[in-house]
Structure 1
Amino acid sequence: MSNQTAADRLAATTFPVLDVIRNRWSPRAFADRPVSEETLQQVFEAAAWAPSAMNEQPWRYIYAHRTDEAAFQQLFDCLVPGNQLWARHAPVLVLALMKTEYANGKPNTTAMHDLGMANSHLILEATALGVHGHFMGGFDADKARATFGLPTNLEPVVMLSLGYLGRAEQLEEPFLSREQAPRQRHPVAAFAFSGQLPN
């Protein structure tokens, strides 16, 4: 797969779903091609229109283009070493955070769900624009808090690399094999049940 494309990784779904969902996947190989600020703002605009409890919109994003070396390095340094091996080539790094309190100071128990909705909007918009992303739980949240001086009510949740598809062969193992492995999902019958969960 020397020149992988979204079509190469198109999900083989059991039931018909939107093409943008079938096209979305999580590459680690990125092309040496920048993502424009205009494109990135469009992607964040999509996140803005996600649903949220009380319309609180508790998501926050800190991002940096690789061309902004100092800002990119701050985000990059928060990643665990295993993710740094490949994410260093990503044109954009993003830290996604959730505001854990409502404006009135009460706990927002659905904030993580709402951030997930925003992230889903974001990544599908990116996919529609030919930009792919890889969400990463492997990062040092405490380091992120210290680096960015985060208040106690702002929680780092996940990091994201964004960019255009590169060549799988630019990756070393074990990432090369993961990049080329068949895409798999549990069947709907394994997680969606009518009326109640099975015994």
Structure 2
Amino acid sequence: MIITTEEDQIRLGKIADSEYEIYALLKQRYSPRIFREEKIKSGHIKQLFEAARWTASSFNRQPWRFIYAEKGTEAYDKMVDCMSDFNKSWAVNAPLLILTAYKEKTEEGKENFHALHDLGLSVGNMTVQAQYLDIALHHMAGINWEKAQKVFDVPEGYHVSTAIAVGYYGGNMEDLSEDLQESETAERTRMPQKDFAFEGKWQS
């Protein structure tokens, strides 16, 4: 690989140093706070949601729901306004924003205990598809979900969960504060497998 730009250097440095070999797209994925100033192609948007559509779900209930908006639209500005101040400081670099939500109950009116699990699987599918398209997703918990419910007229029985900043990898580091620039180039870390994968019984 010939390293020619700052973007190349950052992306090379972000490749996961996995203990065991895993799928290349998973190793290359990371969550940037800068993106190229380029609209997401409409076909690529459809591919992202198609990947989510074919996610496994409990009893095939498919409880995930999404609202999306392009930069420059009123809906986009409303999404930004629902975010935490920290996320507002950089999410405006993304050409596309998504709100995720899930259906809280089953068709029988019972709590769907697995709805959040299924929503997580769907955005996982979307993330891998995005990586294949050279699109970065930055998932955000920092959102005022109650405000978003009202602003976007989310009906009773559905719960806004997270937001996602979406854009093609790239962008200008100068669009970030000095602190965030340091974060953008920081080494990635993960806990070792022994701390979360236990054989036979739970281990302290």
TM-score by length of 2: 0.92
Tell me, yes or no, if structure 1 residue 51 matches structure 2 residue 56: yes
Kindly report which structure 2 residues correspond to 1:172-183, keeping only aligned pairs within 5 A, or say none: 172-183=177-188
CA drift at 1:80: 1.1
Partner of 2:172: 167
Q: Deviations over 1:59-80 (max 9, x none)?
A: 000001114x212112111111
Q: Percent identity?
A: 32
Partner of 1:70: 74
Which residue of 122, 131, 137 maps to 1:133? 137
1:11 touches 1:23 (CA, 8 Å); kept in 2?
Answer: yes
CA drift at 1:23: 1.0
Tell me, yes or no, if structure 1 residue 110 matches structure 2 residue 111: no
Query: Amino acid of the residue matched to residue 182 of structure 2?
Result: S
Which residue of 143, 148, 152 maps to 1:148? 152
Query: Amino acid of the residue matched to residue 123 of structure 1?
Result: T
Distance (Å, rounded) in 1 between the aligned partners of 2:180 and 2:19? 27
Query: Amino acid of the residue matched to residue 176 of structure 2?
Result: L
Structure 2 counterpart SS, 1:122: helix
Which consecutive aligned stretches of 4+ in structure 1 deviate over 3 angstroms post-superposition? Answer: 4-8
TM-score by length of 1: 0.95
Structure 1 counterpart SS, 2:97: strand
Instruction: After superposing the two structures, state which structure 1 stretch, 13-22 or 103-112, moved more.
Output: 103-112
Aligned-pair Cα RMSD in Å: 1.4
Partner of 2:25: 20
Tell me, yes or no, if structure 1 residue 83 matches structure 2 residue 101: no
Structure 2 counterpart SS, 1:44: helix
Distance (Å, rounded) in 2 between the aligned partners of 1:27 and 1:42? 21
Structure 2 counterpart SS, 1:60: strand
Structure 2 counterpart SS, 1:183: coil
Partner of 1:97: 101
CA drift at 1:155: 0.4
Structure 2: tracts of 5 or more residues without a match: none
Number of residue pairs the alignment of both structures matches: 198
Tell me, yes or no, if structure 1 residue 123 matches structure 2 residue 122: no
CA drift at 1:142: 1.1
1:101 touches 1:153 (CA, 8 Å); kept in 2?
Answer: yes
Structure 1: tracts of 5 or more residues without a match: none
Distance (Å, rounded) in 2 between the aligned partners of 1:49 and 1:155? 21
CA drift at 1:37: 1.3
CA drift at 1:152: 2.2
